[in-house]
């Protein structure tokens, strides 16, 4: 594939975007997300006249009557969109460290508009060829899992919060995650699932990851309270001194335990001692084990067991396990 590299003044690109001659987001692109901190840093790069990596464009539709044509931005969407937001004073861009474009001195405005962007023109390619180029440019590894992909796209407040949460001593002390799981970000995936569930309830697999990572990309206002609340749950579980072979340490069971204990002690404001928790869980898990052998009449244990057999990350399974375990905690209220 032959390509050519040229320079274009930023003002030309901004004009082409405004006149819809340059399409900044073809339908095949995933929408990349930068925090405002990232955007400001990048704008500062341009204001200082420093270079940034080339962007890729390809020929788009051509009007054979007027001779006018369009181009597609194959790679460089976030960079050009950020500069466009700065130039137009978009409300989507919140500046803290640098002045808005409208307040810049005339010389600074001219330098910004005359900034030369390196363009690599792919020429006229069909949509499948362009998609292939886009995938190759943006792919560092073909076997990335969902969390690794999200990690490459998001580096904001919520992502940093769950990163820190995943490093909690609670998980290390109880050997919850193996080396391979940590390398493939299984610990971060687990913690993100916990956090989102505490905020929005049970959901299907990783269906809410992108929505919440984007929603709380710039700021996660729940961080201080939620960190303290989840730590109280972790401490309660640790002080219960469950055995290393307890099913509580299985991922699906631990997710249910953390979330339901959070709802019982934090959201519903009920107290439970480590001794009560230990006795409650050991009794219930024993009944779940009997359910596996078809040797129990406990409906909650049978329902819980069924929800651990397959599709454990489906919303319905998560809800079923949660309801069954919460019912056990509710029994403690009757005793008190």
Residues 97 and 117 in one domain: yes
Which pLDDT value is given to residue 143?
44
Show which of 106, 137, 168 is a domain's final residue: 137
Residues 210 and 285 in one domain: yes
Quote the number of domains for the chain: 2
Q: How far is CA 77 from CA 17, 36, 37, 87, 105, in A?
A: 11, 15, 17, 15, 27
Show which of 137, 166, 190 is a domain's final residue: 137
Average pLDDT of the chain to the nearest whole number: 89
Residues 307 and 170 in one domain: yes
DSSP string of 144-174, one letter each residue: --HHHHHHHH--SHHHHHHHHHHT-HHHHHT
Q: Using an 8 Å Cβ cutoff, are 281 and 274 in contact?
A: no
Residues 98 and 213 in one domain: no
Q: Using an 8 Å Cβ cutoff, are 135 and 26 in contact?
A: no
pLDDT in tens, 133-170: 766 766 544 444 666 556 656 778 999 999 999 999 99
Residues 130 and 231 in one domain: no
pLDDT in tens, 293-313: 888 889 999 999 999 998 899
What's the pLDDT band for 126 if we cut at 50, 70, 90? confident
Residues 124 and 218 in one domain: no
Query: E strands of 183-266, at which residues?
Result: none
**pLDDT at residue 30 is higher than 60:** no
Residues 223 and 311 in one domain: yes
Number of other CB atoms surrounding residue 88 within 10 Å? 15
Structure tokens at 87: 């130039």
Residues 279 and 133 in one domain: no
pLDDT in tens, 46-71: 999 998 888 888 887 777 788 788 88
**pLDDT at residue 27 is higher than 60:** no
Which pLDDT value is given to residue 76?
86
**pLDDT at residue 271 is higher than 60:** yes
**pLDDT at residue 99 is higher than 60:** yes
Between 335 and 118, name the one with better pLDDT.
118
DSSP state of 102: G
Residues 204 and 128 in one domain: no
Residues 315-330 have a mean pLDDT of: 97
Residues 126 and 238 in one domain: no
Which pLDDT value is given to residue 70?
87
Structural domain span for residue 104: 4-137
Which pLDDT value is given to residue 189?
94
Strand duo 4-9 + 116-121: pairing: antiparallel
What's the pLDDT band for 184 if we cut at 50, 70, 90? confident
Show which of 103, 137, 171 is a domain's final residue: 137
Residues 260 and 308 in one domain: yes
Residues 208 and 310 in one domain: yes
pTM of structure: 0.66
């Amino acid at each position: 594939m032959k390509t050519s590299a040229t320079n274009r003044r930023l003002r030309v690109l901004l004009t082409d975007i405004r006149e819809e001659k340059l399409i900044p987001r073809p339908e095949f692109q995933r929408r990349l997300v930068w925090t405002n901190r990232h955007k400001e840093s990048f704008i500062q790069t341009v204001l200082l006249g420093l270079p940034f990596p080339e962007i890729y464009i390809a020929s788009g539709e051509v009007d054979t009557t007027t001779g006018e044509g369009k181009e597609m931005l194959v790679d460089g969407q976030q960079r050009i969109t950020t500069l466009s937001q700065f130039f137009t004073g978009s409300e989507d861009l919140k500046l803290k460290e640098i002045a808005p474009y409208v307040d810049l001195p005339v010389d600074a405005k001219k330098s910004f508009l005359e900034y030369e962007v390196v363009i690599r023109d792919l020429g006229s390619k069909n949509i499948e060829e362009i998609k292939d180029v886009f995938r190759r440019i943006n792919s560092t590894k073909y076997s990335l899992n969902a969390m690794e992909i999200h990690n490459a796209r998001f580096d904001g407040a919520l992502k940093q919060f769950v990163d820190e949460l995943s490093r909690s001593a609670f998980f290390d002390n109880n050997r919850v995650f193996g080396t391979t799981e940590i390398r493939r970000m299984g610990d971060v995936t687990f913690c993100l699932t916990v956090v989102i569930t505490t905020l929005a309830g049970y959901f299907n697999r990783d269906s809410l990851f992108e929505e919440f990572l984007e929603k709380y990309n710039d700021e996660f206002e729940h961080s201080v309270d939620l960190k303290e609340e989840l730590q109280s749950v972790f401490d309660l579980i640790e002080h219960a001194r469950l055995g290393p072979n307890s099913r509580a340490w299985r991922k699906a069971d631990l997710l249910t335990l953390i979330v339901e204990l959070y709802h019982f002690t934090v959201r519903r404001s009920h107290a439970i001692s480590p001794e009560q928790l230990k006795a409650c869980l050991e009794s219930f898990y024993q009944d779940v084990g009997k359910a596996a052998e078809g040797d129990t009449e406990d409906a909650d244990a049978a329902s819980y067991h069924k929800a651990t057999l397959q599709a454990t990350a489906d919303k319905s399974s998560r809800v079923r396990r949660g309801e069954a375990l919460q019912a056990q905690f509710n029994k403690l209220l009757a005793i008190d």
